[in-house]
């Protein structure tokens, strides 16, 4: 990233990713793709996401890896992309996200977190989220059509956003909204996205983003 002037140099963009291990990655797609096929698609999704966020060059990028950074796939990611590597910590997705977000927010970095299941996310979405945080919003989210969310951006930390949530269910976004209301924070919502989680998500509209 030499000689690149970033628009939000004090912000951080987190990508959460699992190692593409057959039988452990994209398990809900195994009935359609098989264990190896699901893991291969996951690897493509991670690579696509890292390409998108690093080419956007809006702010420093962090790859947070599960179970840790030692998998050879992650070593290749570190060679191929300008990013820093971190290991996820926690017993569930909420704890792992909270740890990663707090890592940055305690240093007053506006922080955006995404997974790798939504290839439609693009530079304009990240730029919009960071811009909204610089205004009067405390949190920006992009809902997913299955009741979850594909993007969260914060300017301050609260563990309430990440604890006692039924991850992977259709109540994730609505529960998080309730927590935001209780905190009396200002929420701005981006458009709703479709992510790739289940066999019915393997449609041409979703997959075409991977071929760009």
List of the chain residues with pLDDT < 50: 1
- The phi and psi torsions of 119 (rounded to 5 degrees) equal -70, -10
**Structural domain boundaries, residue 98:** 20-200
Q: Is residue 10 part of a domain?
A: no
Q: Report the CATH number that the domain containing residue 35 is assigned in CATH.
A: 3.90.550.10
The pLDDT value given to residue 16: 98
State the distance between the two ends of the chain, measured CA to CA, in whole angstroms.
Answer: 22
Q: Is 151 part of any domain?
A: yes
Cβ neighbours, 10 Å, residue 78: 14
Asked, for residue 2, whether it belongs to a domain, the answer is no
pLDDT for 121: 97
In a domain, 14, yes or no: no
pLDDT at 24: 95
140: phi then psi, degrees, rounded to nearest 5? -125, 135
Structural domain total, the chain: 1
Residues 129-181: tens digit of each pLDDT: 999 999 999 999 999 999 999 999 999 999 999 999 999 999 999 999 999 99
pLDDT of residue 67: 96
Evaluate whether residue 1 is within a structural domain: no
Q: What SS3 state is found at 96?
A: helix
The DSSP-derived string for 13-62 is EEEEEE---TTTSSGGGHHHHHHHHHHHHHHHHHHHHHHHHHHH-SS-EE
Q: Does the residue 205 lie in any domain?
A: no
Place of tokens 């989220």: 129
212 within domain boundaries:
no
Residue 3's pLDDT is: 65
Q: Is residue 67 in a domain?
A: yes
Per-residue confidence (pLDDT) for residue 71, from 0 to 100: 97
Q: How far is CA 142 from CA 1, 91, 120, 154, 211, in A?
A: 27, 24, 12, 12, 23
pLDDT at 2: 56
Buried-state track 128-159, b at ≥16 Cβ within 10 A, e below 16: bbbebbeeebbbbbbbbebebbbbbbbbebbe
């Amino acid at each position: 990233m030499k000689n690149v002037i970033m628009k939000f140099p004090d912000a951080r963009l987190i990508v959460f990713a699992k190692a593409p291990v057959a039988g452990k990655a994209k398990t809900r797609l195994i009935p359609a793709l098989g264990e190896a096929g699901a893991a291969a698609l996951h690897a493509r999704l991670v690579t696509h996401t890292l390409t998108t966020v690093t080419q956007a060059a809006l702010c420093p990028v962090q790859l947070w890896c599960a179970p840790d950074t030692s998998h050879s796939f992650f070593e290749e990611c570190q060679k191929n992309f300008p990013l820093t590597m971190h290991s996820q910590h926690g017993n569930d997705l909420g704890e792992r996200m909270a740890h990663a977000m707090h890592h940055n927010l305690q240093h007053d970095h506006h922080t955006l977190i995404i997974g790798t299941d939504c290839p439609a996310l693009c530079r304009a979405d990240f730029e919009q989220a960071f811009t909204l945080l610089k205004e009067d919003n405390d949190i920006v989210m992009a809902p997913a059509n299955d009741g979850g969310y594909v993007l969260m951006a914060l300017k301050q930390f609260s563990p309430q956003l990440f604890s006692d949530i039924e991850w992977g269910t259709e109540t994730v976004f609505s529960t998080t909204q309730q927590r935001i209301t209780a905190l009396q924070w200002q929420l701005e919502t981006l458009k709703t996205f479709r992510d790739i989680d289940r066999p019915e998500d393997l449609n041409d509209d979703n997959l075409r983003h991977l071929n760009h």
